[in-house]
Amino acid sequence: MEQNDFLESVEKYFGSSKLKPEQYSSLGLAYIGDGVYDLIIRTIVIDLGNGKVKNFHRLTSSVVKAESQAKLVKEILELLTEEELAVYRHGRNAKSATSAKNASIIDYRLATGFEALLGYLYLKHQMDRSLFLVKYGLEKTGQLPTRL
């Protein structure tokens, strides 16, 4: 069975964006990247087995919080291409009107850069690259969920 790219399916049913990934603001990329990362982690967590939703949420929240993302992004920086590094830096340096409730400004900015990168890769139809970077970072930081 052929697996369609999720974004291709969305575009098929709802139409394509008029913008190229390079044309989105860093915070726009971070917005979609936040959802992408959350879905990746939720998928990993739900695949651990049946359990209580509060346990799924607790485990997911511990991995997607800004502090955890900041640790992860520090581990993957050496793997990024120049293009990816530029996207990450733009996201990290973007001035946001909001900040995380329970994170330092440094961790929040690092996480925003990471989310911008994931959003960019998603919109470029490069989910394999996103998944590789996330898996590498989760493993290097010891954050890969393995049990509920």
Burial class for 36, CB neighbours closer than 10 Å (0-12, 13-18, 19+): buried
Q: What is the pLDDT of residue 3?
A: 53
Look at residue 76 in the predicted model and tell me its pLDDT. 98
Q: Is this model's pTM higher than 0.85 or not?
A: yes
| All structural domains of the chain | 25-141 (1.10.1520.10)
Cα 43 to Cα 35: distance, rounded to the nearest angstrom: 12
Beta carbons of 77 and 85 less than 8 angstroms apart: yes
Identify the residue with better confidence: 147 or 28.
Answer: 28
Check if 34 is active-site. Answer: yes
Handedness of CA 145, 78, 85, 123 (dihedral sign): negative
Residue 6 per-residue DSSP state: H
Of the residues 34, 47, 107, 128, only one is catalytic, namely 34
pLDDT for the residue numbered 4: 63
pLDDT at 123 over 80: yes
Q: Which residue has the higher pLDDT, 12 or 74?
A: 74
Cα separation, 9 vs 74, whole angstroms:
33
Is pLDDT of 140 > 70?
Answer: yes
User: 44-68, pLDDT tens digit by residue?
Assistant: 999 999 999 999 999 999 999 999 9
